Amino acid sequence: MYYIGADLGTTGLKMILIDETGRITASRTEKYPIAYPFQSWAEQEPTDWFNALVKGIRKLTKGIAPEAVKAIGIDGQMHGLVMLDSQDQVIRPAILWNDTRTTEEVTYLNDEIGKSKLSELTGNIAFAGFTAPKIMWVRKNEPENFEKMKRVMLPKDYLNYMLTGILSSDYSDASGMLLLDVEKKQWSQEMMAICHITEANLPKLYESYQVVGTLKSDMAEKLGLGNHVKVVAGAGDNAAAAIGAGTVGDGRCNISIGTSGTVFVASKDFKEGKNHAVHNFAHADGTYHFLGCMLSAASCNDWWMEKILGTNDYSMEQNAIEDLGHNHLIYLPYLMGERSPHNDPNARGAFLGLSMGTTRQQMTQAVLEGVAFGLRDSLEVIREAGVVVTFATFCGGGAKSKLWQQMVANILGIEVGILDNEEGPALGSAILAAVGDGLYENVEEACQAIVTVKEVVKPDQEIVEKYNRLYQVYKNSYHAVKGLHDQLSSLAKG
């Protein structure tokens, strides 16, 4: 028996095939472009995702008997707005999670509707990347497209719809739309009214591991699979990554450094963090979680290495960095604005503390440390909610860096578990598919059987104390330059 897990990321679709023991037998990644038409905009063509899925699955399952593949699970980049017309045609490019064009809509929601009201309706407040403000933006700025809109869905839900013909979503991904009453796990009638949509426009809701349907006959033929193949609801990428890291159970933590950076802490009950500086979402295992999300994480390192230094030899640049805790240079990682904990689309990146003696090595180190400090911002908010976190699994592209492993352990002051495999969200989706097929009784049982930690990186208390002092400067730096970033944003808007 085989199960497919697919992770619909920002730059590519990562697919894996696991057998009934959880062993990964094949993997495949298909890339697609991202467009930035204007400052703070980020868009993609949903058809590019679908073409990548078809191409990838055919290659992934080459040589496998069609009847041996039992189920598919797909997770995806959260918050993106996909709109279809009455003929199921994509109306416009999807507006992505890291698109921050909705400043006016977010201000209206948080200030006019009010944060307390939004919290009452959804358990969260408005952020620029969320889906509801994007729907409002389209209605105001592209009324002709809004009039055509019949179906609203998230990125991975578009793929599931193409596969099954059933409009579905799961609670973890829907939590980031600002349309779901997260605690009650139902669409908010008042939020739909605010966005001028109805429940008929929205997907039916499922738990992530529940089966929504099987492959349509034409899709089975296109993929080279049988139409018996089940498709589960799937999850938001962060929830899927947490499943792939075994982060199920009250107080369990997973940290991810991918394009964005996240701190994910599972909770058996619904709780709200202080000032909504982190999100309160449903988890893919049927419970809830805290989620702190920084918009630019590994992408900061990509920007620094490739656009500024003009190199892709990441290892060479990091190998010379050894003296942790002594680099008194601050980097603010806000290249696309910031979500947690600041909810500030005007925030921008900055170096503080440059001098004539500053070296390339020090600036590279500051970029890596700045991302880890940004993760700590979210962890501190979660700790203020009374959650004790002393250990976290670590996944994403950044988890492959030994240096970043050490920095995260010391800057956050926790033990960091390095997973036996680093497939993260794709593995989580494959696990959900296996649970949906009945191979395991529940998600926790599946994680216990499949997910293992191969190494634990422990913090050095002396370095922890040095980073604690530097972190205070980092926190103050955002507030010190916030007014300047607001002024620059006003100038950019003309």
* Binding-site residue ranges for substrate: 78-79
Q: Which residues of 447-466 are buried (b: 16+ CB within 10 A; e: fewer)?
A: beebbeeeeebebeeebbeb
Nearest Cα residue to 238 out of 266, 275, 209, 198: 266
Q: What is the DSSP letter of 296?
A: -
**Residue list for the binding site:** 78-79
Which position has the token pair 């600036």?
363
Name the active-site residue from 237, 344, 377, 437.
237
What are the residues whose beta carbons fall under 8 Å from the beta carbon of 146, sequence distance 6 or more? Answer: 135, 138, 139, 196
Q: What is the DSSP letter of 276?
A: G
HEC profile for 64-96? CCHHHEEEEEEEECCCCEEEECCCCCECCCEEC
Look at residue 448 and give its three-state secondary structure.
Answer: helix
Count, residues in the chain: 494
| Active-site residue flag, 88 | no
Nearest Cα residue to 53 out of 210, 223, 169: 223
396: left (phi over 0), alpha (psi -120 to 50) or beta: left
Nearest Cα residue to 279 out of 375, 271, 102, 252: 271
Which position has the token pair 């679908």?
50
Q: What's the CA gap between 255 and 392, in Å, rounded?
A: 6
Paired tokens of 419: 């997973």
**Which amino acid, residue 59?**
K
Strands (E), 354-489: 391-395, 415-419, 453-457
Look at residue 170 and give its three-state secondary structure.
Answer: strand
Q: What's the CA gap between 329 and 82, in Å, rounded?
A: 41
Look at residue 172 and give its three-state secondary structure.
Answer: helix
Q: Is the dihedral of CA 336, 282, 13, 450 positive or negative?
A: positive
**Which amino acid, residue 42?**
A
Q: What's the CA gap between 355 and 331, in Å, rounded?
A: 14
Q: Which residues are catalytic?
A: 237
